[in-house]
Amino acid sequence: MEVLVAIVVLSLGGLVAGAMQGTSQRANHDAQQRLIATFFVNEIIEKMRTNPAGLSGYDHDTPLTGGTIGAEPSPRCVADAGCTPFQLARHDLWAWEQSIAGVGVQVGGENVGGLVNPAGCISTNDGRVSVVLSWSSVEPLSDSAAGPGVTDSCGESSEFRRQVVVNTFVK
């Protein structure tokens, strides 16, 4: 009888440890996605700060999701390519969209380097800049579709949506 009780206790302990491992992996994935989103938002803001004359070129009417812009803008604005500030802004925007969708890192033809179902929104108005980056999480939240700072116009509104919202000024 004691052996049977010991086996039951060990079995329950194993189940609890397995459940904790699963919870830990989901939390780690969410933290990793938030870190990536924060990096991408800061990256595009810094590009805007280095190109203040082209600030209006970063404004985009629709959410950027990985294929919104399409092909790389011409001319290809890298290093000293002789682009105008507006052309550089459009190229930066295209490169940012490719980054958030993870196009640069692929496994088996699938993008794996970016966010899950990303949607990036940028608006500029007289030096005021708002960058919103939305993505999908693996865990639902009851209040993820509403609340302070949540922008409904960027990304699919659902209980799985997460957002990083940054408002700043570029001069």
What is the rounded average pLDDT for all residues in the chain?
85
pLDDT of 169 above 80: yes
Give the single-character DSSP code of 57.
G
Q: What percent of the chain has pLDDT over 90?
A: 39
The count of other CB atoms within 10 Å of the CB of residue 97 is 24
Q: Residue 115 in contact with residue 97, Cβ under 8 Å?
A: no
141 residue type, one letter: L
The alpha carbon of 149 is separated from its chain's Cα centroid by a whole number of angstroms, namely: 16
Q: Which pTM value belongs to this model?
A: 0.80
- Could you report the per-residue pLDDT of 24-33, keeping only the tens digit for each? 777 788 888 9
Cα 138 → chain centroid: 14
Reported as a single tens digit per residue, the pLDDT across 54-101 is 999 999 878 888 778 888 888 888 766 788 999 999 999 999 999 998
